[in-house]
Amino acid sequence: MADEEHIRHCMLYKFQLGRKASEAAKNICSALGQDAVSARKCQHWFEKFREGNFLLDDKSGRGHVSNFDQEALQALLVQNPQITQQELATTLNCSQKTISNQLRALGKVQKFGKWVPHELTDNNRNQRVTICSSLLSRQNRLPFLERIVTGDEQWVLYVNVKRRPQ
């Protein structure tokens, strides 16, 4: 895909030629690829150009800059791994959504009521390799997987109807 700033230059060029936004989007897509720019995005930039704003820099983000203290959050998680998001929000005086976003940014997920890292540690990976290799060697010595019946949570009715000749 083409560089976003290059596409904005193309849109400005088409605007200065007096073209319509939809026509500009169609021409840019035919030159740079089908999904290079949408007609709506082109209309948005044309509105900016009509207002006299010819800066081609896109804003880096929306909303206000967060001054959230992640160190305080991490300290609370170390102190009490069973703490809930609502309790964290009350303690840190922010919304539950902010806590959810910050926990996701830290790579934390809740497992069995505790906040733990989403990524496996080297020790966890080694344990899994050890367990898998022991199960594989056990299967080679005494086949036990053939005796396990698995399935999902659907019931299957097995009816063996014999057809009778008419």
Residues of each domain in the chain carrying CATH 1.10.10.1450: 4-51
Residues of each domain in the chain carrying CATH 1.10.10.10: 70-106
User: Is the domain covering 4-51 a CATH 2.160.10.10 domain?
Assistant: no
- Please list the ranges in the chain whose pLDDT falls under 70: 1-2, 58-66, 145, 148-166
Angle between helices 96-106 and 85-92 (to 10 degrees): 110
Supply the pLDDT for residue 1: 46
Supply the pLDDT for residue 119: 77
Supply the pLDDT for residue 150: 61
Indicate the DSSP class of residue 145. Answer: G
What is 70-106's CATH number?
1.10.10.10
Supply the pLDDT for residue 156: 55
Distance, CA of 56 to CA of 142 (rounded, Å)? 69
Is the distance from CB of 23 to CB of 14 less than 8 angstroms?
yes
Supply the pLDDT for residue 131: 92
Distance, CA of 28 to CA of 25 (rounded, Å)? 5
Residue with tokens 């809740």: 110
Supply the pLDDT for residue 148: 66
Angle between helices 21-32 and 4-16 (to 10 degrees): 140
Tens digit of each residue's pLDDT (9 = 90 or more) over 124-146: 899 999 999 998 888 888 877 67
